[in-house]
Chain A
Amino acid sequence: MSEQRSLTSRRALLGAGVAAAAGLALAPGVRLIQWAQARSAGELASGQVRWGLLIDANRCASGCTACVDACVQENALQSSIDLRQRPQWIRKVELKQMGADRTAAAPVMCQHCAEPPCVDVCPTGASFKRADGIVLVDRHTCIGCRYCMMACPYKARSFVHEVLTDQKPEVPRGKGCVEGCTLCVHRIDRGQTPACVQACTESENGAMLFGDLNDPASDIARRLRTEASRALRADLGLDPGVRYQGV
């Protein structure tokens, strides 16, 4: 009998814990500790933060490739291999509305889903989502099976087909691994914006905005609240961290 009672109380305690956790999750933006933008040495990525992008296709100039060039430069993606095999972390997509003259352009990269299919299918656990919402490949664990490339509805992942020697110290990459946009995680950890966003801002198109989706005071959260935006393939329910306007 006493055992049963203790079991019941344990259940009650567990229930209270779950309720408390749900309460925390139900109140985004309400937190006891405010995080700083740039983390100090040794500090871990925070689960309070969710990094995201807002891309305005109305401002994205059709011939401009500043974001793509900046990505190639920043991550040392230069390659002379056949285009079909060349890694592509970000690409410009031209859109044309059927039956109308309207066209738009926008960059597409890893959408940093909250429910990433690449993570679901990875057989080794190499594909993972960091606490702050950035979806990455741990190349130490990646076996290059490319299931994630097939699972990604945005075609955001690439496979490295050639031996590399000109990597940047902060962006290690090599033959036999799958890779994709890291949201410039090395820059974010220093307190900077991703290279594509910086290039877009400097190009004066200003089509890309980077920030914390969880912080109600951030520019990106404010604009997502007040302006119309959409997720690509919202029907899949992946809750991407990259949102678009004017598409």
Chain B
Amino acid sequence: MSHRASRPQCPALARSLAGLGLALLAGFCAVGARAEEPGRTPKPTIVIESQQHCIASPETMRREHPDMLRHQRVRTVRLGERGTKVSLNACIGCHADRKTGSVIGSDHAFCQGCHSYAAVHIDCFDCHQSSVRPAPARVTLGATP
């Protein structure tokens, strides 16, 4: 198993995530430097519905959300860790567009807005549901026979 663990999982995704990191870094450095001169640099036009800091500051989240999600997905799928702070469904639940209920679908949507600005394809929603759906409640008492 050890030789498998060292092998990069989903190399296409890793490449696109690395690309996203670089692109975002470059993009936000440029935005920061030119903050006084709006219009010189195009910015992503995302509509952020929830302004609260769910996990970390926006700066940290912009750079580190791919790593956070990638780390947590392994723990959730393989180890069965549930109900954690980092969760794709929690992101969607908080940040989906109030009208469409989705984080993709337009260049103003929370995920797609930035990803299309940075020209990074989002693989997540090839499999994951991108819209808010009512989540079933956790059962605290054992319901199994």
Chain B residues in contact with chain A, CB under 8 A? 1, 4-5, 7, 9-10, 13, 73-75, 77-84, 89, 92, 126-129, 133, 135-145
Within 8 A of B (CB), among A132-150: 132, 136, 138-141
Q: Is A41 an interface residue (CB 8 A)?
A: yes
CB distance from B68 to the nearest CB of A (A): 15
CA distance A168 to B133 in the complex (A): 8
Residue of B with least CB distance to A136: B77
Query: 14 A-B pairs, CB-CB below 8 angstroms?
Result: A38-B143, A41-B83, A124-B9, A125-B7, A139-B127, A140-B10, A141-B9, A169-B92, A169-B128, A169-B129, A172-B127, A190-B138, A212-B144, A218-B145
Which residue from B126, B135, B140 sits with its C-beta under 8 Å from A38? B140
For residue A175, which residues in chain B have a CB less than 8 angstroms away from its CB? 126
CA distance A130 to B75 in the complex (A): 11
Complex contact B81–A168 (CB within 8 A) = no
Residue of B with least CB distance to A185: B80
Residue of B with least CB distance to A192: B143
For residue B80, which residues in chain A have a CB less than 8 angstroms away from its CB? 39, 44-45, 130-132, 185, 189
Binary contact track A163-196/B, C-beta < 8 Å → 1, others 0: 0101111101111010000000100111111000
Instruction: From known contacts A139-B127, A169-B133, infer whether A37 and B144 are also in contact, taking CB-CB under 8 Å.
Output: yes
CB distance from B16 to the nearest CB of A (A): 13
CA distance A33 to B80 in the complex (A): 19
The number of inter-chain residue pairs (CB within 8 angstroms) is 112
Instruction: From known contacts A169-B89, A174-B127, A190-B139, infer whether A130 and B81 are also in contact, taking CB-CB under 8 Å.
Output: no
Instruction: From known contacts A140-B73, A168-B129, A168-B133, infer whether A42 and B141 are also in contact, taking CB-CB under 8 Å.
Output: no
Complex contact A191–B83 (CB within 8 A) = no
CA distance A164 to B10 in the complex (A): 20
CA distance A138 to B76 in the complex (A): 10
CA distance A51 to B119 in the complex (A): 44
CA distance A100 to B56 in the complex (A): 68
Complex contact B77–A140 (CB within 8 A) = yes
Instruction: From known contacts A42-B84, A138-B77, A168-B133, infer whether A191 and B126 are also in contact, taking CB-CB under 8 Å.
Output: no
Complex contact B127–A219 (CB within 8 A) = no
For residue A189, which residues in chain B have a CB less than 8 angstroms away from its CB? 80, 82
Complex contact A141–B10 (CB within 8 A) = yes
Residue of B with least CB distance to A164: B127
Within 8 A of B (CB), among A99-149: 124-125, 128, 130-132, 136, 138-141
Residue of B with least CB distance to A194: B144
Instruction: From known contacts A44-B79, A45-B79, A128-B78, infer whether A211 and B145 are also in contact, taking CB-CB under 8 Å.
Output: yes
Instruction: From known contacts A125-B4, A172-B129, infer whether A193 and B145 are also in contact, taking CB-CB under 8 Å.
Output: yes
For residue A174, which residues in chain B have a CB less than 8 angstroms away from its CB? 126-127
